[in-house]
Amino acid sequence: MDAHISRLLTGVRTCRCCGASFRELLNLDFDRPGICPLDLPVLDNSALLGEFGDVLTQDFCRLDESRFIRGQLVLPIRSAGAELVLGIWVQLSPDAFEHHVTASLMGGEEALEAMEGWLANPLPVNDEGPVACLAHLAPGAERPEFQITEADHPLTDLQQDEMPIDSVFEWLHAFGHDVGSLIFDA
Ligand SMILES: [Zn+2]
C-alpha cells in the first residue's frame, strides 16, 4: 500500500468541519432519502407500523406513495485495502417494501430474493437520472446490501472494479467535508 494512503488511514488528523478522521469518513450515512423533507423527524423503526401517512425511521421511509429502505452501498478502495461504505436509501416498489418490512421487522424467516430498486440519494458521479440496483436482503442481516445493476453507469465500475482514492476525496469534498484538513497539517 502507498505510504501516503497508509498514513491517512492510521492518521490522527480530523476533518475541520465535523471532527471525523479519514477512516471514520469512510462510513458516510444519509439519514433520509434525497426527496424527504428535512423537517421530518427520524423515528425508531417501530414507528413505521404505528404511524399513518408520511414517516421516516432509521431504516424505512414512507412518503405519499413512495417507499424507501436504507442499506449499504460498498465501494472497494483497493489501493488502500479499505472500503467506502455508504449508508444510503433505495426506493422499492410498495410490494417489495411490504415484503422487506415483514421480513425484517417481524422476523420472517423466508429466504429473501434480491429486489429491484433505485438509488434515492444523489451521488457525485457524472451521470444524471435514477440508478437501478438490486437490494440483497439477508435474513438476520443488519442492513440490506445494494448492488448497482445499471450497465455502463460510472457507479457500476466503481463498485465492481474500484473506487480510486482521488474519487474518495472528491466525494468527501462534495459532501461538504474539509479534505485539506485531512491531508495537510494545519
Ligand atoms: Zn467533515
Cα of 43 vs centre of ligand 1, distance in Å, is 24
Residue 43 lies in a domain: no
Residue 84 lies in a domain: yes
Question: Is the predicted pLDDT of residue 151 greater than 60, yes or no?
Answer: yes
The grid cell for 150 is 445499471
Residue 109 lies in a domain: yes
The grid cell for 92 is 422499492
Residue 64 lies in a domain: no
Cα of 73 vs centre of ligand 1, distance in Å, is 20
Cα of 86 vs centre of ligand 1, distance in Å, is 15
Residue ranges near ligand 1 (ion) with Cβ within 5 Å: 15, 17-18, 177
Q: How many domains does the chain have?
A: 1
pLDDT, average across residues 33-49: 94
pLDDT, average across residues 143-157: 92
Q: Which residue has the cell 488528523?
A: 13
Cα of 143 vs centre of ligand 1, distance in Å, is 24
Residue 12 lies in a domain: no
Cα of 15 vs centre of ligand 1, distance in Å, is 5
Residue 104 lies in a domain: yes
Residue 52 lies in a domain: no
Q: Residue 152: which pLDDT band, with cuts at 50, 70 and 90?
A: confident
Quote the CA–CA distance of 145 and 134 in Å, as a whole number: 8
Domain that holds residue 168: 25-35+69-177
Average pLDDT, the chain: 89
Residue 144 lies in a domain: yes
